[in-house]
Amino acid sequence: MPIEPIPSRYALPDPRAADGDVVAVGGDLSPGLILSAYRQGMFPMHLPDGHLAWWSPEERAILPLDGLRISRSLRKSTRRYSVTVDEDFESVVQWCSDVERPNGWITEEIVDAYVELHRLGWAHSIEVWDQDGALVGGLYGVSVGGLFAGESMFHLARDASKVALVHLVVIMNQGGVMLDVQWQTDHLESLGALVVGRDRYLEMLPKAIGAPGPAVFAAG
């Protein structure tokens, strides 16, 4: 079972009162505050000026667990790779934090915080390996009950990140309730993601986090 961290000395405001996507600025990346944020519908990400901010997008997006679109080519790709869960969390996060990636936002501070969340049993990764045993794709995020909040994904080979997402949806259909993808993108929309908006997301959140969740994540 995941280990409940020490509660944070900081308190985050209600995201419903936010004017825009940023709810608050400041605080720290302690496990207690990060988990409190997810339970309230927020997640951490630094602003361009380096300050830590807590985000709850007005145009919040999710991927319905019965709505994943799998093309014929993607279906073939799922047979090309092997997939594991929590086999190499830190490598997945490090690849996602590659400074050469466009719009990169994952700092070393973020990496360290999520590695600690993984140690406590809250953050999880899905790894995709090629036939030679090389890590070629994956994703990571935070699981709280029946919620999985996806943070980032990467690929070094064709469709590798999509294969990770397919595997995640399979897992989530075994006890999960909601797969949060934060913001909509053309890539995610092509896979079936849709915008529900912040208010609707916050309405759905208590049921999601109150559910037992998939056994593979609940085991920590």
Residues 98 and 148 placed together within one structural domain of the fold: yes
pTM: 0.95
> DSSP labels for 13-68?
PPGGG-SSSEEEE-----HHHHHHHHHTT-EEEE-TTS-EEEE--TTEEE--TT--
Residues 48 and 66 placed together within one structural domain of the fold: no
Is it the case that residue 92 has pLDDT exceeding 70? yes
pLDDT exceeding 70 applies to what percent of the chain?
96
Residues 104 and 211 placed together within one structural domain of the fold: yes
Whether 41 and 208 have beta carbons less than 8 Å apart is answered as: no
Q: Is 6 a domain residue?
A: no
Q: How many domains does the chain have?
A: 2
Per-residue pLDDT, averaged over 16-45, amounts to 97
Q: State how far the Cα of 87 lies from the Cα of 73, in Å rounded to an integer.
A: 26
